[in-house]
Structure 1
Amino acid sequence: MTRVALIDDHESVRLGLEAACARDSNMTVVFSGSTVTDYLEWRTFSASPPADVVVLDLTLGDGTTVTENVRRVVTDGSSVIIHSVADRPAAVREALAAGAAGVVSKASPIDDVIAAIRTVAFGEPLNNVEWASAVEGDRAFADAQLSARERDVLRLYAAGLPLKVVADRLGVAYSTAKENITRVRVKYVEVGRPAPTKVDLLRRALEDGILSESADDAPAGGPSDR
């Protein structure tokens, strides 16, 4: 069961999302409110675990910033989907840089929003038209200045290969491949796009065009590791 929290200062939006989630037998709305502060206070007083996915409006009416809201929710332990009119690409990029898993337009069909919640709940990257529009052309957001070797290691590792297999395929020592991944993570932190997990590294590789979603990039098999 995917536990969902809805944070939007427009009640009609929340009611529509609640009704859509209620139609999915594997999804339940545990919180619906207008601010992140209200959500975190509910968490404290109810002793409820964090929601699996928080659907968050890009701009709330309480004067908070998108960076502040996303970071508070992510730090609390939830994944964040920005639900926005998506006409402010700079603010969307800000949300993605703060750790949001993706963005879904409020103009999207409700089934697309529900599908996005499922995708993020399974720990998969959310890449769609809204996300692409937000990052396209913004090289300051996209460029972590990775070396050619670091890009090679990231491409294979993010595609699902264990790090030892990556090292063997590139003809380098395991320690060298591990050091490259460490440097990649440090560089992404330096540009405000942290990637602490393998799923995060996959998102960064997709964002930066290092890895495509085509079958050509998929590894032949083998288990993945962190």
Structure 2
Amino acid sequence: MTRVLIADDHAAVRGGFRVLIESDPTMTVVGEAATGAEAVELARAHIPDVVLMDIQMPGMDGLAATREIAGDPHLASVRILILTTFDIDEYVIDALGAGAGGFLVKNTQPEQLLHGIRVVAGGEELLSPGLTRRLIAQLGGRPGAPRISPHALESLTAREREVTALVAAGMNNAEIAQSLFISNATVKTHVSRSMTKLGARDRAQLVAFAYLSGLVTTS
């Protein structure tokens, strides 16, 4: 059962999401937050699998709340899916930098939202390869953006580099396994080890590191 926390300052929006999520027998809503501070508090109380996080909320906004949750070692298993009415690159970049595992606009189709929850809960990023490349290119050019030394890649084995590159290309574990003729479990192991070696919290950050290190390029 995937446990979901909803964070949005509009009660009607939270109610709509709750009805949709609980229409899926594999999901349940463990709490609702109207502010970023409440989202952090409820995340610590319930340890959900996924937080649906609005960006614009009073007081602590969704990005600040995302940073709080992502930075808490006790909440390492919690994944964050950003939901906003603003389909703007800057928001997506900031959300990824804060530790979010995915990004959707609120007017997405219901089934796409449920799919997004499943994807993020499974530890995969929720960004199309084209959007990822564009955003990472922008992130790398921003003042103060994190720089990943090419030497960081030296810690990866040849297979780990290969798997990381395919993750950055937008492939899921099953697709990578089929492409490389290895098992899903082996892919999962390679992804996990690569994340550990590069210090990536989740697959979204692993994708970012793959571009920033030069392992893959936007061209």
**What TM-score do you get using the length of structure 1 for normalisation?**
0.64
Superposed CA deviations along residues 161-219 of structure 1, whole A, max 9, x for unmatched, are: xxxxxxxxxxxxxxxxxxxx79973xxxxxxxx5146x46643356668469xxxxxxx
Equivalent residue for 2:53, pick from 47, 53, 56: 56
**How far does residue 17 in structure 1 lie from its aligned partner after superposition?**
0.9
2:111 match: 111
Alignment of 1:130-141 (within 5 A): 132=132, 135=135, 137-138=137-138, 139-140=140-141
**How far does residue 3 in structure 1 lie from its aligned partner after superposition?**
0.4
Task: Find the aligned partners of 1:182 and 1:41 in 2 and give their Cα distance.
Answer: 27
CA contact (8 A) 1:85 1:107 kept: yes
Q: Which amino acid aligns with 1:204?
A: A
Task: Find the aligned partners of 2:151 and 2:124 in 1 and give their Cα distance.
Answer: 26
**How far does residue 73 in structure 1 lie from its aligned partner after superposition?**
2.2
CA contact (8 A) 2:35 2:61 kept: no
Unmatched segments (≥5 aa) in structure 2: 168-193
CA contact (8 A) 1:4 1:31 kept: yes
Structure 1 or 2, whichever has the larger Rg, is: 1
Task: Find the aligned partners of 1:116 and 1:29 in 2 and give their Cα distance.
Answer: 15
Task: Find the aligned partners of 1:201 and 1:61 in 2 and give their Cα distance.
Answer: 27
2:38 match: 38
- Tell me if 1:150 matches 2:153: yes
Task: Find the aligned partners of 1:145 and 1:43 in 2 and give their Cα distance.
Answer: 30
Aligned length: 180
Q: Which amino acid aligns with 1:69?
A: A
Alignment of 1:71-86 (within 5 A): 71-74=67-70, 75=72, 77=75, 78-86=78-86
Going from structure 1 to structure 2, the CA distance change for 1:36 and 1:66 (only over 3 Å counts) comes to: closer
CA contact (8 A) 2:96 2:205 kept: no
What is the aligned-residue RMSD (CA, Å)? Answer: 3.6
Q: Which has the larger displacement, 140-149 or 109-118?
A: 140-149
Q: Which amino acid aligns with 1:57?
A: D
Superposed CA deviations along residues 36-65 of structure 1, whole A, max 9, x for unmatched, are: 322344466xxx431110000011122x24
Going from structure 1 to structure 2, the CA distance change for 1:119 and 1:196 (only over 3 Å counts) comes to: closer
Going from structure 1 to structure 2, the CA distance change for 1:210 and 1:19 (only over 3 Å counts) comes to: farther
Task: Find the aligned partners of 1:90 and 1:39 in 2 and give their Cα distance.
Answer: 22
Q: Which amino acid aligns with 2:46?
A: P
Q: Which has the larger displacement, 111-120 or 74-83?
A: 74-83
1:24 match: 24
2:66 match: 70
Superposed CA deviations along residues 61-94 of structure 1, whole A, max 9, x for unmatched, are: 22x2444211122225121110012333213211
1:164 match: none
**What TM-score do you get using the length of structure 2 for normalisation?**
0.66
Task: Find the aligned partners of 1:203 and 1:136 in 2 and give their Cα distance.
Answer: 9
Q: Which amino acid aligns with 2:108?
A: S
Q: Which amino acid aligns with 2:150?
A: S
Task: Find the aligned partners of 2:113 and 2:130 in 1 and give their Cα distance.
Answer: 12
**How far does residue 11 in structure 1 lie from its aligned partner after superposition?**
1.7
Q: Secondary structure in 2 aligned to 1:25? A: coil
Going from structure 1 to structure 2, the CA distance change for 1:61 and 1:118 (only over 3 Å counts) comes to: same
- Tell me if 1:204 matches 2:208: yes
Going from structure 1 to structure 2, the CA distance change for 1:183 and 1:99 (only over 3 Å counts) comes to: closer
Going from structure 1 to structure 2, the CA distance change for 1:140 and 1:36 (only over 3 Å counts) comes to: same
CA contact (8 A) 1:103 1:130 kept: no
Task: Find the aligned partners of 1:183 and 1:24 in 2 and give their Cα distance.
Answer: 33
Going from structure 1 to structure 2, the CA distance change for 1:149 and 1:80 (only over 3 Å counts) comes to: closer
Q: Secondary structure in 2 aligned to 1:72? A: helix
